[in-house]
Amino acid sequence: MVAQLLWILAVYGIAVALVHIVHARHLRRASEGTGRRRHYVLITSNHERQVEWYLRALSWYALLSGTRVRVTVLDDQSYDDTLKIVKRLTHLSGIELVYGTWRSGDPASQETDVDPKEDEIIRIDLRNPMEAVQIPYVQG
């Protein structure tokens, strides 16, 4: 009985230590403010089953790594609820999320508020399923 109690306390102590380490890393990166931001541009089309997982994976990545992440979701004429799901997740913690529609012929309208000096731009066309592996914590 005492051994089980000691195991429980040890696991609890390790969990508390990990939370403090992750929080300290987050505060250190936030105070630096000079780090580049990762800007993921996701092009979707009828991805209602996957888009929530992709956005939550990016949120977890931002929170655990302390990286500033901005996500722009551009929808290419979806017939399902892809944009509704993205709208619902706009307040997801850890990432700055914006969304819009994809216009094939106008590249200037695709990526707004992007500063190449500040942002590392990662463009992922989810219409090609093999490109999803560029999202952290997502496997092909």
Please tell me the predicted confidence (pLDDT) of residue 35.
63
Please tell me the predicted confidence (pLDDT) of residue 41.
94
pLDDT tens by residue, 28-57: 766 665 567 899 999 999 899 999 999 999
What is the SS3 string spanning the chain?
Answer: CHHHHHHHHHHHHHHHHHHHHHHHHHHHHHHHCCCCEEEEEEEECCCCCCHHHHHHHHHHHHHHHCCCEEEEEEECCCCCCHHHHHHHCCCCCCEEEEEEECCCCCHHHCCCCCCCCCEEEEEEECCCHHHHHHCCCCCC
Please tell me the predicted confidence (pLDDT) of residue 134.
92
Please state, as a whole number, how many other Cβ atoms lie within 10 Å of the Cβ of residue 28.
10
CA distance 39 to 122: 6
Angle at 84 between CA 82 and CA 63, to 5 degrees: 85
pLDDT tens by residue, 95-112: 999 999 887 655 544 555
**Closest CA relative to residue 99, chosen from 130, 110, 107, 121:** 110
Tell which wins on pLDDT, 109 or 90: 90
Parallel, antiparallel, or unpaired for β 37-44 and 69-75? parallel
CA distance 35 to 54: 23
Please tell me the predicted confidence (pLDDT) of residue 109.
45
* Residue 120 · residue 113 · CB < 8 Å: no
Please tell me the predicted confidence (pLDDT) of residue 108.
45
